[in-house]
Amino acid sequence: MATAKKLPSGSWRCQIYSHTEEIKQPDGTVKKKRIYKSFTCDVQGAKGKRLCEQMAAEWAANKEGNSSGDAMKLSEAMDKYISERESVLSPRTIISYKQFKRDIPDNLAEKELHSISQSDIQNYINSLSVKKSPKTVRNYNGFISSVMKRFLPSVSYSISLPKKVRPDLYVPTDKDVSRLIQAVRGTDLELPVLLAAFGPMRRGEICALRAEDISGNVVHVHRNMVITENKEWIEKSPKSYAGDRYIEFPDFVAAKWKGKTGQLVEITPDVITNRFHRVLKRNNLPEFRFHDLRHYSASIQHSLGVPDSYIMQRGGWGNDGVLKAVYRHAMEDKAKEMSRIANDHFAEICNTRIAK
């Protein structure tokens, strides 16, 4: 084990071998240079010496426990990280990770992990913030952070990220949904719209739904249709534990699948999206996403006083973070109405007092 040495300041420093770098000389020869990692501790006395040596020993143990080591390039570490998780993460997540990797500039991607500083990562995050949304920037940083933590567990970074912004959503109203249902009646979009608006089910869940998943009015959601990197649609289990759930639908929705067998919806999620937007345009409906029907369902349940725990279970959310950040955003019209009622009441009190 490396021994800490006392510095003139009274602090302790311990150096431990990290790796060897090859440095090309002007005459074409290659010189090997041993690189050491340095640890310092400002605690005075024997305790400081022990702490300094302990930090070095822990770093060395972590280094040995990861055969990939410090010398692995960031791009190589990303490939390995993705490969290790390819069988357990959704194809969509894997596709996103690979896109993140492709976007990393060469001057960062080709750096060895040990030589990547906090400033390197911060500068890259800053450059992303100019052209991408705060949410997307946070996803990039999350991926880089996970990769670094996987192969350099003893190293941590504190990256400043752009502030989150409130999503600018249009949540369809009862009137919008009523007009939409009339527009899709008798088409292959009718059942998907009903399942999303009154479930609420996701596109992939709807497209993977089979007759054997239904008992009476109750749908067992336990499959999801996703697209692979090769542009092929496949069925996977839900992306989270909460996604596997049972939903009881009203009779008028259940009537639409009576007598059906096999796959209930014979189109893919992207076809749903394309046809959905054409229906909105043809019928002069406000522009919103098919996914926003889930927003509608959650917001209406919330306004009716349905407990959040039930809304989460029905919609397949594992926690109320999304509900608080997005779905309650849909309650703005209701909030305005409540404000009007309160303000009218206050005004009445004020007028009464003035009359006295």
Q: What is the 3-state secondary structure (H, E, C) of 279-348?
A: HHHHCCCCCCCCCHHHHHHHHHHHHCCCCHHHHHHHHCCCCCHHHHHCHHHHHHHHHHHHHHHHHHHHHH
Distances (CA, A) of 74 to 71, 145, 264: 9, 11, 45
**What is the pLDDT, as a whole number, of residue 113?**
87
Residue 253: in which H helix or E strand, if any? helix 251-254
Residue 289 amino acid letter: R
Looking up tokens 């084990």 gives 1
Give the fold, CATH level 3, of 174-330: hpI Integrase; Chain A (1.10.443)
Domain coordinates in residue numbering, the chain: 5-65, 74-151, 174-330
Distances (CA, A) of 83 to 27, 80, 87, 91, 97: 41, 5, 8, 12, 11
Tokens for 199, please give them.
């479930």
Compute the C-alpha angle 233/234/239, nearest 5°.
115
In our burial notation (b when 16+ CB lie closer than 10 A, e otherwise), range 151-175 reads bbeeeebeeeebeeeeeeeebbeee
Give yes or no on whether 74-151 and 174-330 have one common fold: no
Tally the residues of the chain: 356
CATH of domain 74-151: 1.10.150
> Of 309, 288, 318, 311, whose CA–CA distance to 193 is shortest?
288
Q: In what order do the strands lie in the sheet with 214-215?
A: 214-215, 218-221, 245-248
Is the alpha carbon torsion for 314, 320, 322, 328 positive or negative? positive
> Of 151, 172, 166, whose CA–CA distance to 276 is shortest?
172
Distances (CA, A) of 323 to 11, 168, 225, 326: 51, 15, 23, 6
Note down pLDDT in tens along the chain; length 356 residues. Answer: 678 899 988 888 888 887 777 677 777 677 888 878 788 888 888 888 888 888 788 777 766 555 445 568 999 999 999 999 887 788 888 999 999 999 999 999 999 888 888 889 999 999 999 999 999 999 999 999 999 988 888 777 889 999 987 767 778 989 999 999 999 999 999 999 999 999 899 999 999 999 999 999 999 999 999 888 888 898 888 877 788 999 999 999 999 999 999 999 999 999 999 999 999 999 999 999 999 999 889 888 887 888 888 988 998 887 777 666 555 555 555 566 677 788 887 888 776 554 44
Q: In what order do the strands lie in the sheet with 12-24?
A: 5-6, 12-24, 30-41
Tokens for 252, please give them.
């008028």
